[in-house]
Amino acid sequence: MLAPALRRLARVPQPITLTGREPQTSAAELLAGLVPPPQFARASFDSYVPDPAHPSQAKAQQALRDLGEQLLRPARKSLFRKAAPPPSIYLDGGYGVGKTHLLASLAHAVGSERSAYGTFVEYTHLVGALGFAPCVKELSTRSLVAIDEFELDDPGDTVLMSRLLRELADAGVSLVATSNTLPEALGEGRFAAEDFLREIQALAARFTVMRIDGEDYRQRTGRPQSTGHTDDAVREAVDASTAGGAVVSLDAWRPLMAHLARIHPSRYGRLVDGVDAVALTGVDQLDDDMVGLRLVVLIDRLYDRGVPVRLGGAGVADIVSERMLTKGYRKKYYRALSRLGALAALPLPGERAAS
């Protein structure tokens, strides 16, 4: 028989590991998941507070509000005139100005049965899971397809998304996208964009571009100055949270980065579902864009869910190299650092917020 002390130890809750998870998603689950993420489950046009110093925010808010009302009106049919193409809007602006909030608000206003909401990577994976024609057929039943974090990282995505959006627009679907890059500059610095200029120009021509100016509402300019903790401090914080019943993951940095390479980015959300906090030990600096881009997606999914993060080792500001912050993906990295800084400032379950 176990001694009393060992029996008590055996009942102590233990952290889980993300590297021990192998998430899977079916095509039906992917379709059901085309809704705004938990972080924006209650987002509305009324809860978006535009900055008076940047009138473009209020202008974008009103434009999307008007579009939502338009999409809810019964369509007028004419025997003599071809229906006008549906309105499509491209929200361009820096990170932290509320583009995702507005996009989620529009999807909520139109309703889940008439809209589809997803990130760029989720739509590309949906095509892979369903096949191109079934994907077009399914999305064509919606009045609105909302695409968050629109970016072109490779030529294949350029051709795929150009064709997908063309067929959806021809089917009468309104398209609204958000990005940190103007549509005619998509792919710039990532691949030989000039070789795919026609596809990129075709994408750009389908949108009315609206620029949203402003400062990052997370109160950060450039790289957050969050410092890392010692690995021991991270483990102690994890022990305290798990002892209180929270589900906390604890992983070593490099093994987790290797694990992400074995999972399609569209499944990163499922990877962290049900996790109350994420803790990492041995965090050091990355200088590999393939690893960095996977990390960006993971941070986005954590941010969607408002999951607190603790880093042991390097702090938020130092997890990507200076080289990565000066090349083609720099806007993605800066957005990810801003979001990670916000998550690192959140208290772990059972921990008091910093005053």
What pLDDT is attached to residue 58? 95
Judgement on whether residues 263 and 323 belong to the same structural domain of the protein: yes
What pLDDT is attached to residue 94? 76
208 phi and psi angles, rounded to 5 deg: -90, 115
CA dist 26 → 23, 31, 131, 266, 330 (Å): 10, 9, 13, 11, 33
Last residue within a domain, chosen from 182, 212, 242: 212
What pLDDT is attached to residue 355? 40
Judgement on whether residues 54 and 201 belong to the same structural domain of the protein: yes
Q: Is residue 111 part of a domain?
A: yes
Contact by Cβ (8 Å): 210, 63 = yes
297 phi and psi angles, rounded to 5 deg: -65, -40
| CATH number for the domain harbouring residue 117 | 3.40.50.300
Q: Is residue 175 part of a domain?
A: yes
Query: Residue 308: exposed, middle, or buried by beta-carbon count in 10 A (0-12, 13-18, 19+)?
Result: buried
List the one residue out of 149, 54, 61 whose CA is nearest residue 106.
61
Which residues fall within 8 angstroms of residue 118, CB to CB, at 6 or more apart? 33, 34, 126, 146, 147, 148
What pLDDT is attached to residue 96? 75
Give the side-chain half-sphere CA count within 13 A for 102: 31
What pLDDT is attached to residue 15? 94
Q: Is residue 69 part of a domain?
A: yes
Number of domains in the chain: 2
Handedness of CA 310, 311, 315, 319 (dihedral sign): negative
Judgement on whether residues 203 and 269 belong to the same structural domain of the protein: no
Q: Is residue 11 part of a domain?
A: no
Give the side-chain half-sphere CA count within 13 A for 123: 28
Structure tokens at 57: 């925010």
Judgement on whether residues 49 and 168 belong to the same structural domain of the protein: yes
Which residues fall within 8 angstroms of residue 309, CB to CB, at 6 or more apart? 277, 278, 279, 280, 302, 340, 343, 344, 346
What pLDDT is attached to residue 195? 46
Give the span between the Cα atoms of 297 and 306, in whole angstroms: 14
What's the distance, Cα to Cα, between the start and end of the chain in Å?
Answer: 47
- Cross-sheet strand order for the sheet of 208-212: 115-119, 144-148, 174-179, 89-93, 208-212
Judgement on whether residues 72 and 194 belong to the same structural domain of the protein: yes
Q: Is residue 183 part of a domain?
A: yes
**Regions of the chain with pLDDT less than 50:** 1, 4, 7-8, 80, 182-184, 186-197, 219-221, 354-355
Of the chain, the percentage scoring pLDDT greater than 70 comes to 80
Judgement on whether residues 56 and 195 belong to the same structural domain of the protein: yes
What pLDDT is attached to residue 196? 41
Last residue within a domain, chosen from 197, 212, 227: 212
Give the span between the Cα atoms of 179 and 280, in whole angstroms: 29
Query: Residue 230: exposed, middle, or buried by beta-carbon count in 10 A (0-12, 13-18, 19+)?
Result: exposed
Contact by Cβ (8 Å): 134, 248 = no
Judgement on whether residues 171 and 72 belong to the same structural domain of the protein: yes
Q: Where are the beta strands (DSSP E) in the chain?
A: 89-93, 115-119, 144-148, 174-179, 208-212, 248-252, 277-283, 309-313
pLDDT tens profile 121-160? 888 888 888 899 999 999 999 999 999 987 765 556 667 8
Full domain range(s) for residue 48:
27-212
Last residue within a domain, chosen from 191, 212, 233: 212
